[in-house]
């Protein structure tokens, strides 16, 4: 046996496992990922808090009710309209708003809504962006020209303005496209709007990758073997961009949550009385001078959640492809 | 009239830095949460709109520029004197003062009054319902005539003669409303002129409109012609320029005034800042009385509110005290149409708050259609009222959806018959003139169900009560027994639970330091009298 050849068989490593090892070494990214999961679990526990601790729902008004604090019956909303402030009591831990609603309960339910919208919209964006990128990148020619121009039109609108315009237009009458009918107050309205406006931001870089991969030999070989376009796109091209898609998906959730909170703050996102972190900032804005926590707490949660997602997403990008230059620019 | 309560004003312009001499003048900035519905004297029917327009367009008669009850006295405006009324109460003769000019120098003519009344009908004004008492007005409105036969004018003498279909105890009041303010015939007849308002006949002229963000009012250079013609009861402008700006954040408005960046806010101080402002700025803050009713309308023409038991259930369920707390304690609880201070008001409580009784009535009614759309506008307290009401309806077993729309377009939206799903929602009404007919006719008369700009949001159509309303209109409010009959009419409508009224709101005045606090006052009909603004 030649010198230097090891006696044991060298085990091959799955690229996903290698990525996991790289991610594990990035303690900050991993920590942020864990923190994000904790935030999600915390928000998912909203019904538990509402039923067993606060004993109220997120939209239940208790304007003339009282709550026992330290053995003293205290108005949830005083006769002069001042709501109960935060304190160390299970009910109304973060105080009440001017409708007598439990702020902590609304914060948890609001988090569920904001994260759900962020993730669902990211899924919408991803599906649409991948389809557009594959079609444009594989077929090129007129298909690429048409799809790229559509993306350019959407891209040309500032994301926030486009979101506000669509949100306001669909809020009253909803969306009616034949078989597809969505009420104006449905959560799917902001999901679809946010999902749509971010499609160019994901589709364009993916299209670039597809265009590059299209010229590779393995694609030529697949064509020579008689594989159809659908099989080539799904079997050859898509697996090669999946790591990019995963990173974009993660980063996109963060952007979507920011856009949702902006739209809801401006009244074009989640419809009242439902809570999201954006609507809570808007509701608390009127009380910024006397009860700043109503605005600051949901705002801080948005910051922390978006930050953890961005850091985790960056770590994921480095882990999946250290040479990647993926950025979700906007 | 309605109140979107607050146009938003975000004015931080140079207005607040203007001169302030003892002889008057200066530029001021005021904040509003919602922009006026229309800058159009024939169309505007909100408190915000009339507050702006009262000192811009002068009708033939007007109201005294005075605080309290004195301000409800009718006095001559563009007319030389109070009308000569025929013994049968059906003919009114007035004479226009001579040599008056609009702000653009155009002469004010007697026929301009006729044109204004014609605009009411052609532009589908919510105020048109008051003026169908003029002979020929209904035919004109229906397109059967090309002029209103009951109004004759002579531009060379200034004579105006108005024939009514019957005696009307409120007609002088109606002549004092914005609706009847003469406008030149160059004004668009059949549409809104907000973006290009007609020239002014009052102390101010609207010099710039950037709806819904801002507008500017400046001293009318031709107002001297009105004063010189003898209109001494029409007040002069106390400042040179008023800039009204929209600001959706009422708390920020308070801070701007406290810091003297803005001079006045049209809306009341929000509940959470009330105690602070009362204690820190007592010398530039006061509470103000107002004659108004806040209520939830219920569309009586469609399910489930076409069922009396459901409407009564809502009345039992609504807790006026809860809504009072949303208003920071500024709401006097009520459960009736007429407010305190209105002739014919007699306090009674037909539906004491009882959620269990409400649930029992709903169970008895067992409505098949439980999908309800609740409407409100986006001003902070209105939004909270809407959320309270939506939650209440949910507790009663309805599937209630809340629709929040901008205050600038709220009334036009719910007053439009073609808007779908106008089931129930927030509404209010401020007296136009001190007569109970003002609360019944535009809000509860079957003829007030208009295709657009309607104010009968509950779509109430009770012919017996309409007949009673019409009978009472032919009498004077001071006639024996008339006030009691209006009180009975109030009870009759509430037995039908046409509304769910809950309160009468108090307003506030909060001014910047440089404003003359004692000169400024709130008029009982038009709220803040802009002609009373003066810089120290």
Closest-CA residue to A127 (of A277, A270, A238, A288): A238
Q: pLDDT-derived band of residue B10, with 50, 70 and 90 as boundaries? A: very low
Q: Is B501 buried (19+), middle (13-18) or exposed (0-12) by CB count in 10 A? A: buried
Q: Do B404 and A77 make contact, defined as CB atoms within 8 angstroms?
A: no
d(CA B180, CA A35): 67
Please state, rounded to an integer, the average pLDDT across all residues of chain B: 93
Closest-CA residue to B185 (of B123, B97, B109): B109
**Phi/psi-derived region of residue A72, left when phi > 0, alpha when psi is between -120 and 50, beta in every other case:** beta
Q: Can you give the pLDDT at residue B21?
A: 35
Whether B481 and B313 have beta carbons less than 8 Å apart is answered as no
List, for residues B11-20, the tens digit of each pLDDT value: 222 333 333 3
CA distance, residue A271 to nearest chain B CA (Å): 8
For residues A295, A300, A305, A309, the Cα torsion angle rounded to the nearest 10 degrees is 120
Whether B161 and B111 have beta carbons less than 8 Å apart is answered as no
Whether B182 and B101 have beta carbons less than 8 Å apart is answered as no
For residues B80, B82, B84, B87, the Cα torsion angle rounded to the nearest 10 degrees is 180
**Phi/psi-derived region of residue B5, left when phi > 0, alpha when psi is between -120 and 50, beta in every other case:** left
Q: Can you give the pLDDT at residue A7?
A: 59
Q: Can you give the pLDDT at residue B1?
A: 87
List, for residues A258-313, the tens digit of each pLDDT value: 999 988 888 788 888 999 999 999 888 878 888 888 999 999 999 999 999 999 98
Q: Can you give the pLDDT at residue A168?
A: 77
Q: Taking the model in full, what pTM does it have? A: 0.84
Q: Can you give the pLDDT at residue B425?
A: 98
Q: Can you give the pLDDT at residue B13?
A: 29
Q: Is A2 buried (19+), middle (13-18) or exposed (0-12) by CB count in 10 A? A: exposed
Chain A residues in contact with chain B using a Cβ-Cβ cutoff of 8 Å: 59-61, 63-64, 77-82, 98-99, 171-172, 183-185, 267, 271-273, 285-291
CA distance, residue B11 to nearest chain A CA (Å): 18
List, for residues B467-495, the tens digit of each pLDDT value: 999 999 999 998 999 999 999 999 999 99
> Does residue B23 register a pLDDT over 50?
no
User: Per DSSP, what are the bridge partners of residue B218?
Assistant: B205, B241
CB-based contact, B354 to chain A, within 8 Å? no
Q: Can you give the pLDDT at residue B406?
A: 87
Instruction: Please count the residue pairs, one from chain A and one from chain B, whose beta carbons lie less than 8 angstroms apart.
Output: 93
What residue of B is the nearest CA neighbor of A273?
B387
List, for residues B245-258, the tens digit of each pLDDT value: 999 889 899 999 99
Overall average pLDDT of the A133-161 stretch = 92
Is B482 in a helix, a strand, or coil? Answer: helix
Overall average pLDDT of the B425-436 stretch = 94
Q: Can you give the pLDDT at residue B16?
A: 37
Q: Can you give the pLDDT at residue A170?
A: 80
Q: Do A267 and B404 make contact, defined as CB atoms within 8 angstroms?
A: yes
Overall average pLDDT of the B128-136 stretch = 95
Residue B20's Cβ-side half-sphere holds a number of Cα atoms within 13 Å equal to 15
> Does residue B36 register a pLDDT over 80?
yes
Q: Can you give the pLDDT at residue B510?
A: 97
> Does residue B112 register a pLDDT over 70?
yes
Overall average pLDDT of the B317-324 stretch = 95
Please state, rounded to an integer, the average pLDDT across all residues of chain A: 88
Overall average pLDDT of the A170-192 stretch = 80
List, for residues A233-255, the tens digit of each pLDDT value: 999 899 989 989 998 999 999 99
Closest-CA residue to B4 (of B27, B32, B28, B24): B32
More confident residue, A173 or A30: A30
Closest-CA residue to B38 (of B456, B411, B507): B411
Q: Do B272 and A184 make contact, defined as CB atoms within 8 angstroms?
A: no
> Does residue B438 register a pLDDT over 90?
yes
d(CA B33, CA B52): 14
Lowest mean pLDDT of A160-169, A238-247, B259-268, name the range: A160-169
List, for residues A45-58, the tens digit of each pLDDT value: 999 999 999 999 99
CA distance, residue A239 to nearest chain B CA (Å): 44
């Amino acid at each position: 046996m030649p010198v230097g050849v090891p006696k044991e068989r060298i085990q091959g490593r799955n690229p996903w496992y290698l990525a996991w090892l790289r991610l594990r070494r990035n303690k900050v990214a991993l920590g942020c990922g864990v923190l994000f999961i904790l935030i999600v679990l915390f928000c998912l526990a909203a019904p538990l808090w509402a039923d067993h601790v606060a004993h109220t729902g997120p939209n239940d008004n208790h304007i003339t009710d009282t709550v026992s604090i330290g053995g003293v019956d205290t108005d949830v909303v005083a006769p002069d309209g001042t709501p109960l402030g935060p304190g160390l009591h299970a009910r109304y831990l973060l105080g009440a708003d001017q409708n007598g609603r439990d702020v902590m309960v609304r914060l948890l339910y609001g988090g569920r809504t904001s994260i759900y919208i962020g993730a669902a919209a990211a899924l919408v964006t991803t599906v649409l962006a991948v389809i557009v990128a594959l079609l444009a990148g594989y077929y090129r020619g007129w298909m690429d020209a048409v799809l790229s121009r559509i993306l350019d039109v959407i891209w040309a609108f500032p994301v926030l303005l486009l979101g506000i315009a669509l949100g306001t237009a669909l809020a009253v009458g909803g969306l009616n496209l034949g078989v597809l009918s969505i009420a104006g107050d449905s959560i799917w309205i902001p999901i679809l709007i946010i999902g749509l406006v971010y499609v160019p931001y994901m589709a364009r870089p993916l299209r670039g990758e597809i265009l590059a991969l299209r010229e590779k030999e393995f694609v030529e070989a697949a064509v020579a073997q008689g594989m159809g376009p659908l099989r080539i796109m799904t079997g050859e091209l898509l697996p090669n961009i999946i790591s990019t898609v995963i990173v974009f998906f993660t980063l996109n959730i963060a952007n979507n949550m920011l856009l949702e909170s902006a739209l809801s703050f401006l009244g074009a996102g989640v419809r009242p009385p439902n809570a999201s972190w954006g609507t809570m900032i808007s509701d608390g804005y009127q009380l910024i001078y006397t009860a700043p926590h109503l605005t600051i707490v949901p705002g801080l949660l948005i910051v922390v959640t978006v930050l953890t997602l961005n850091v985790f997403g960056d770590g994921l990008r480095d882990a999946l492809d250290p040479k990647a230059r993926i950025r979700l620019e906007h | 009239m309605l109140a979107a309560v607050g146009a938003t004003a975000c004015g931080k312009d140079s207005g607040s830095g203007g001169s302030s001499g003892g002889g008057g003048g200066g530029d001021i900035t005021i904040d509003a949460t919602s922009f006026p519905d229309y800058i159009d004297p024939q169309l505007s029917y909100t408190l915000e709109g009339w507050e702006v327009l009262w000192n811009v367009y002068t009708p033939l008669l007007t109201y005294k520029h005075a605080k309290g009850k004195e301000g409800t006295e009718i006095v001559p405006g563009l007319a030389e004197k109070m009308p000569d009324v025929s013994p049968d109460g059906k003919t009114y003769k007035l004479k226009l003062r001579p040599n008056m000019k609009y702000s653009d120098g155009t002469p004010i003519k007697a026929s301009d009054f006729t044109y204004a009344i014609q605009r009411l009908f052609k532009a589908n004004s919510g105020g048109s319902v008051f003026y169908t008492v003029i002979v020929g007005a209904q035919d004109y409105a229906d397109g059967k005539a090309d002029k209103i036969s009951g109004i004759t004018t002579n531009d060379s003498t200034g004579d105006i003669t108005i024939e009514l279909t019957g005696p009307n105890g409120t007609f002088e009041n109606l002549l004092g409303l914005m609706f009847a303010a003469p406008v030149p015939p160059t004004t668009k007849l059949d549409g809104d002129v907000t973006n290009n308002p007609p020239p002014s006949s009052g102390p101010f002229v609207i010099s710039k409109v950037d709806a819904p963000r801002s507008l500017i009012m400046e001293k009318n250079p031709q107002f001297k012609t009105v004063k010189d013609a003898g209109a001494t009861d029409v007040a002069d402008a106390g400042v040179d320029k008023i800039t009204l700006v929209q600001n959706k954040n009422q708390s920020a408005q308070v801070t701007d005034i406290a810091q003297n960046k803005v001079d006045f806010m049209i809306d009341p101080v929000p509940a959470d800042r009330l105690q602070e402002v009362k204690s820190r700025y007592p010398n530039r803050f006061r509470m103000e009385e107002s004659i108004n009713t806040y209520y939830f309308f219920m569309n009586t023409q469609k399910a489930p509110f076409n069922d009396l038991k459901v409407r009564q259930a809502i009345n039992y369920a609504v807790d006026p005290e809860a809504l009072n707390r949303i208003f920071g304690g500024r709401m006097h609880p009520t459960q009736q149409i007429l407010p305190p201070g209105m002739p014919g008001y007699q306090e009674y409580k037909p539906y004491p708050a009882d959620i269990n009784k409400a649930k029992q009535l709903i169970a008895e009614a067992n409505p098949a259609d439980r999908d309800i759309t609740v409407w409100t506008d986006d001003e902070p307290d209105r939004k909270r009222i809407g959320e309270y009401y939506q939650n209440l309806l949910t507790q009663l077993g309805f599937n209630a959806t809340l629709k929040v729309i901008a205050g600038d377009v709220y009334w036009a939206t719910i007053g439009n018959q073609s808007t779908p799903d106008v089931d129930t929602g927030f509404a209010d009404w401020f007296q136009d003139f001190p007569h109970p007919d003002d609360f019944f006719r535009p809000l509860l008369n079957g003829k007030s169900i208009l295709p657009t700009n309607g104010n009968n949001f509950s779509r109430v159509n009770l012919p017996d009560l309409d007949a009673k309303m019409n009978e009472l209109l032919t009498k004077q409010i001071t006639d024996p027994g008339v006030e009691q009959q209006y009180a009975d009419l109030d009870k009759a409508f509430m037995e039908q639970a046409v509304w769910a009224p809950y309160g009468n709101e108090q307003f506030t005045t909060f001014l910047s330091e440089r404003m003359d606090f004692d000169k400024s006052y709130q008029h009982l009909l038009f709220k803040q009298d802009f002609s009373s603004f003066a810089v120290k």
